[in-house]
Structure 1
Amino acid sequence: MSTAPKTPRPAQPASPIQRVGMLGVGIMGRAMAANLVKAGFVVSGYDPDPKAMKRLKAAGGTPCASAGDMASTVDVIICALPSPEALHGAAQQIAERGHRKLLVVETSTLDIADKTTARDALHAKGIVMLDCPLSGTGAQAVHKDLTVYASGPKAAIKKLAPVFAGFSKNCFDLGAFGNGMKMKLMANLLVAIHNVSTAEALLLGQRWGIQPKDAVKVLSDGAGGSRMLQVRGPLMQGQGWNTPTMKVGIWQKDMKLIAAALAEAQVPAPLFAATVPVYNAAMALGHAEHDTAAVFDVLSRMSS
């Protein structure tokens, strides 16, 4: 007697953590939530944008009414927030409603002082928060092509390993809280430069009749290749920057953090300084909601 094939169940995470909350379901948060669902976690989330909540539900997550509501029902909260104000407001709600075993993973690119303030507010309630920025774009997040720069209590980082594996390709334990953000700013310093250098090279090729997509394929295989060439290069043709993986407007926040860190450490940074007016020009040309690949358009207009 034949039987109908059984529908395979989602893989269950090999972790005592089963319920994950996503605080902030924008470009990055939505992709991370979707991958966590695929990894077998029970995912819920909150974002003030109703459209983001609909996308979360479509990805298999459960929308919550607030950060506080979510804090009372999950084992870990992953924060992907746009501003210090958003973090402080969320920390207050989590402190009021969260339980003592709750872990908070702060992945946003924010000033270390702001993260420390939020950490201390949660610590007063017995809740552990880690500083875990991510290296990678929204497009990379879709394919789990992210690296976690984890910093904070070693035991908590170890416990969260299955969760990190659910949405990233790698995780580095960088030690004390705040080291994650330091590494993130170093990474973004390189991103700022590599993105503009990619635009310069591809614009040169275009003027010679070499299409950006062809140049990306060839250059990526040689000594001049970079992740920004691979990730952002394809968006520099046919106004691909209209589909953002990192918006120019949000990137301005990162640029200010990098500039402040360089000034505090008294590090000369002529290459980074040269990119600042290019990104400012992108804002002036109306690219705030576009991908940072729009620097290609800036250079193109500067030379036309």
Structure 2
Amino acid sequence: MTTHGPANRPRVGVIGLGIMGSAMANNLVKAGFEVFGYDPVPAARQGLKKAGGRACKNVHELTQKAQHLVLSLPSEAALDQVCAELLATGHKGLIAADTSTLPEACKLRHKKALARCGITLLDCPLSGTGAQALSRDLAVYASGNAKAIKAMQGVFAGFARVRYDVGDFGNGMRMKLVANLLVAIHNVSSAEAILMGARAGLDPATIVKVVSDGAGGSRMLQVRGPMMVNRSWQEATMKVSTWQKDMQLIQDLLQATDTPAPLFSATLPIYNAAMAMGHGMDDTAAVFSVLERWTQWAPKI
């Protein structure tokens, strides 16, 4: 193991420095790790430098610096590319915790290919928004090789509030989709509740404060309620366009398991409408804008 500093902590490599990846890398730096990062976007690499990390020019250079890797990738194509580059390094002993929300079959295919070259891939998706990632308020759903998860426990603690070991490889993604099904519903229900209260004459900020502290509260009301009240959904912590990918993965698992989900299904047109209304690059809190505009279009009786 390559170590650094008096705490004898491992060097960490973060591949993918977007909203989530950059927040994790920054928190690892704050926790005292020596962090190396790679992202094809120059501005993302520059952001890591400003945070105190070290930017690498490619995946090969990064694996020469660190054996404990965190992947935070936006698509299957990105995972395909990164895993191909990991294979090309021929660097045995690497442990790569993939925190991305991507199809289980894609992850499993790469796990098998990397294992043949002595590289361990873990399926470790995250529960939490980009804003929560900034404050280290994330939950890691770790699945796969138990020994490798144990080796990564200090890294997880550097960027997450808690880690749950959920068993065999792939269970992490399944747990993530269970959580995201609830997120999809709670996000829209938060918008409905705030809008109803506001139209009834209540102060929206007071609604969020009071209801969040009672039986009707939810994490989404706490996290996204203020964004809805302040209309700050342009400051995206989860873009609507990215969320559509997660919604499709949930639909796929519902179909594969023959699970009825009427509440989740009812949210689909809300998120689709957000896309149609130009909110693709905005935070999913923009569903409030969708519902609000629907009231404006409703015929007056």
What's the TM-score, normalizing by structure 1?
0.94
Residue 253 of structure 2 is aligned with which of 245, 251, 261? 261
The letter of the residue matching 1:188 is: N
1:13-162 matches, cutoff 5 A: 13=7, 15=9, 18-97=10-89, 99-162=91-154
* Equivalent in the alignment of 2:299: none
C-alpha displacement of 1:209: 2.5
- 92-101 vs 256-265, which moves further: 92-101
Is this contact kept in 2: 1:22–1:79, CA < 8 A?
A: yes
1:146-185 matches, cutoff 5 A: 146-185=138-177
Kindly tell me: are residues 100 and 241 of structure 1, through their superposed partners in 2, closer, same or farther at Cα, counting changes over 3 Å? same
Whether 1:274 and 2:266 are equivalent positions in the alignment is yes
How many Å separate the matches in 2 of 1:224 and 1:168?
26
How many Å separate the matches in 2 of 1:169 and 1:108?
18
* Equivalent in the alignment of 2:210: 218
Q: Deviations over 1:117-146 (max 9, x none)?
A: 111121111100100000000000111100
The letter of the residue matching 2:99 is: T
C-alpha displacement of 1:68: 2.2
Structure 1 residues not aligned, in runs of 5+: 1-9
What's the TM-score, normalizing by structure 2?
0.95
* Equivalent in the alignment of 2:230: 238
How many Å separate the matches in 2 of 1:171 and 1:143?
16
How many Å separate the matches in 1 of 2:274 and 2:16?
26
Is this contact kept in 2: 1:71–1:98, CA < 8 A?
A: no
* Equivalent in the alignment of 2:193: 201
- C-alpha root-mean-square deviation of aligned residues, in Å? 1.3
The letter of the residue matching 1:82 is: P
State percent identity of aligned pairs: 55
C-alpha displacement of 1:196: 0.2
The letter of the residue matching 1:297 is: S
How many Å separate the matches in 2 of 1:74 and 1:263?
40
The letter of the residue matching 1:267 is: T
How many Å separate the matches in 1 of 2:226 and 2:90?
43
How many Å separate the matches in 2 of 1:178 and 1:121?
15
The letter of the residue matching 1:138 is: G
Query: Matched residue of 1:149: which SS?
Result: strand
- 231-240 vs 174-183, which moves further: 231-240
C-alpha displacement of 1:11: 7.9
* Equivalent in the alignment of 1:4: none
How many Å separate the matches in 2 of 1:134 and 1:147?
6
Q: Deviations over 1:235-255 (max 9, x none)?
A: 002321010000000000000
Kindly tell me: are residues 207 and 34 of structure 1, through their superposed partners in 2, closer, same or farther at Cα, counting changes over 3 Å? same
